[in-house]
Structure 1
Amino acid sequence: MAPILPSVLAAAIPLAAWARTASAAQPSGDEAGRIAEIGWVLFVGGAVIFIAVAAVMALALHGPPRARRLLAKPALIVAAGIAFPVIALTALLLYVLSPVPSLARHGAMPAARIEVTGELWWWRVRYLDPAGNVLFETANDIRIPAGLPVEFLLKSGNVIHSFWIPDLAGKLDMIPGRVNRLRVLARTPGVFRGQCAEYCGAQHARMMFDVEALPPERFDAWLQTQRQPARAAGPELLQGERIFQRACAQCHAVRGTPAAGTLGPDLTHLGSRPTLAAGVLPNNVGALAGWIAGSQHIKPGNGMPSFDQWPGEDLRAVARYLESLK
């Protein structure tokens, strides 16, 4: 196992440069824009009130005697201590609760319906047709059309998770036995980081995902590609495919092959995803081999065992096969 660890670390080093920080303060979606607006109004309103109170306190403590006598009048104390807070807080509350245009309330039909299930610790993603039938399944990788509304159906089969894409929308819990719905509209194309926002266990902090907003025509092309089965393995990949079918097919599915496991992520188009292990590693052959051999060292407690008994030739063969699944 020791010779593999340097390769795993080398594969993980570029992740720091690859990763981007999600920011609710720089919204790229309609719902996130409303949240950011409310946040700035509350922040600015609170700052103005704080400065005003600090100024009055300074005047009461160190101001001229006449000003201090005026501030000591009961009427001013009642106005500043009771009337003003009630009026200011009521105004802010009404602003926050005021109705705003909503995709759901205006009946906008979603351009895509995506079912996301929180697993331990990754995201099962299923794209649905208008009747609710599954078109295909992927994992930790979400693509949506830019400029069009999308509906997420959020579920959990284990513990409470929370689905959060700060740039696009607010967080929404995923509760076992319940389906919560979230509408999202990305204003422009881009890549956005998502994160579980509810502590769900040891690897909660390593439960990330990517959302890429594509131009509608590129999104449609991606949908068609994802619906296709995996390409047949060429002669140079047959060894890796045989090992995968023998050791991995019980947990993973690769459409178009005998692998039909449902416990782990669907790997039909694994090679096209930007990351591995829910955002922990970049997706390349070295990282794939490192993850197969040392998954419990990289992400302790996850549902995949470490295949550290495999010889290096078998690891490389399986990694090359998986990398070819575009």
Structure 2
Amino acid sequence: MRNPWFWLLVLAGLTACNAEQSTLHVFGAEARAVRQMALLLTIGAAVIVTIMTVLYVRAVRAPEGKLSHDRGMRMVLWMGAIGPTLILTALLIYALPAMRPRATAPGDLVVRVDGEQFWWRVAYDPAGDLSPLLSANEVRIPVGRTVVFELTARDVIHSFWIPGLAGKMDMIPGRTNRLVVQAEKSGRYRGVCAEFCGLSHALMAFDVIAMDATDFDAWLRRSRAASAGAIASRGETLFDAHGCGGCHAIRGTSHDARIGPDLSRFGERRTMGAGIMPPTSANIASFIRAPQDAKPGARMPAFPQISAADAQAIAQYLKGLK
């Protein structure tokens, strides 16, 4: 088939074939319900369009005198008014209950996510008995359990969206919105900001890791108990000397700042810079010296005075934080 329009439609359809970030490749109960609702609404719309097309063709092609005024009015009434109304009413009756948020319980996991320009501040169980476990640009959730995301922003409006898990939710400064979700299968996925928030809006993603509930509990305990270790290194000394601890926190050290992302367990992360590049030593060193080159508009100051060798030493130190 050589019709270019056919291949254009094929290519357009392939844009949705991404298991990492796709509204069609779902791993959450809410996204599955949305996909099912969208499918039924599409079928309903197709049925209505078909009815209207048949009505139009019948009216235009009917031989003269065969279609009387009364018969034509009955066709318009049933096929153009009553039929579509019944279909739309049925879809509305189906959709309204499906729009109710998932019920929560006092023991559900709470994850607070703050949108920043241009990264994500994450805190697990911020109101629990233990101190919250802090992270950045990565969200881990247990499969089969209800999770409550508390979403807000510190600068401008952002939008929290994990396509395969649930719908979008705005993050508004001064207000906390709640998004209740439940993952149905494990895997590594991708979330994004869906609201234009500045120069690097398109460079603001995060990893979503859905884990078996037992593995998640073990990870949570291990992460709470983890520390940076007692082995001193040149990179750690340089990290202190250049004032990096004035913005970044590292669990198990004296650094407890909350201006920039928490760097505890940085070495476990698959990406850096909010999902824009792999955390290689070269990328980390380059980002330290000139973050604006990788992420325009980022609030992290540049450190061109740090030599390439020193930046590499700091990078190696950060890669070892696990």
TM-score greater than 0.5 by the shorter chain: yes
1:120-269 superposed matches below 5 A: 120-128=117-125, 131=128, 134-232=131-229, 234=231, 238-247=233-242, 248-269=244-265
Which residue is 2:277 aligned to? 281
User: Deviation at 1:186?
Assistant: 0.7
Distance 1:67 1:263, change over 3 A: farther
Which protein has greater RCO, CA pairs closer than 8 Å, 6+ apart? Answer: 1
**In structure 1, how many angstroms separate the alpha carbons of the residues matched to 2:287 and 2:71?**
70
Tell me the alpha carbon deviations over residues 92-134 of structure 1, each in whole angstroms, 9 at most, x when there is no partner.
Answer: 2222113578631xx4455421111111111100011663654
Structure 2 unaligned regions, length at least 5:
1-17
Tell me the alpha carbon deviations over residues 188-238 of structure 1, each in whole angstroms, 9 at most, x when there is no partner.
Answer: 111121111122122111111111111122111211222134333635xx2
User: Deviation at 1:30?
Assistant: 0.9
Distance 1:103 1:203, change over 3 A: same
**In structure 1, how many angstroms separate the alpha carbons of the residues matched to 2:131 and 2:118?**
22
**In structure 1, how many angstroms separate the alpha carbons of the residues matched to 2:47 and 2:161?**
30
- The residue matched to 2:246 in structure 1 has which SS? coil
Which residue is 2:316 aligned to? 320
Distance 1:311 1:71, change over 3 A: farther
Whether 1:50 aligns to 2:49 is yes
- The residue matched to 1:249 in structure 2 has which SS? helix
- The residue matched to 1:137 in structure 2 has which SS? strand
**In structure 1, how many angstroms separate the alpha carbons of the residues matched to 2:112 and 2:24?**
27
Structure 1 unaligned regions, length at least 5:
1-18
**In structure 2, how many angstroms separate the alpha carbons of the residues matched to 1:67 and 1:143?**
67
Contact 1:114 1:127 in 2 (8 A): yes
Contact 1:168 1:186 in 2 (8 A): yes
- The residue matched to 1:274 in structure 2 has which SS? coil
Distance 1:191 1:109, change over 3 A: farther
Distance 1:47 1:118, change over 3 A: same
Counterpart of 1:323 in structure 2: which amino acid? Answer: K
Distance 1:77 1:52, change over 3 A: closer
Whether 1:73 aligns to 2:72 is yes
**In structure 2, how many angstroms separate the alpha carbons of the residues matched to 1:309 and 1:220?**
43
User: Deviation at 1:21?
Assistant: 4.2
Tell me the alpha carbon deviations over residues 58-95 of structure 1, each in whole angstroms, 9 at most, x when there is no partner.
Answer: 23223444665579622322333332333222222222
- The residue matched to 1:152 in structure 2 has which SS? strand
Which residue is 1:14 aligned to? none
Which residue is 1:26 aligned to? 25
Distance 1:28 1:68, change over 3 A: farther
Number of residue pairs aligned between Structure 1 and Structure 2: 304
Contact 2:55 2:76 in 1 (8 A): no
State the TM-score, normalizing by the size of structure 2. Answer: 0.86
Which residue is 2:11 aligned to? none
**In structure 2, how many angstroms separate the alpha carbons of the residues matched to 1:289 and 1:216?**
36
Root mean square deviation of aligned Cα: 2.3
Counterpart of 2:169 in structure 1: which amino acid? Answer: L
Counterpart of 2:240 in structure 1: which amino acid? Answer: Q
**In structure 2, how many angstroms separate the alpha carbons of the residues matched to 1:197 and 1:71?**
52
User: Deviation at 1:143?
Assistant: 0.8
Which of 281, 284, 291 is equivalent to 1:295?
A: 291
**In structure 1, how many angstroms separate the alpha carbons of the residues matched to 2:200 and 2:62?**
56
Which residue is 2:40 aligned to? 41
**In structure 1, how many angstroms separate the alpha carbons of the residues matched to 2:281 and 2:66?**
74
**In structure 1, how many angstroms separate the alpha carbons of the residues matched to 2:70 and 2:247?**
73
Which residue is 2:87 aligned to? 88
Give the % identical residues: 40
Contact 2:292 2:302 in 1 (8 A): yes
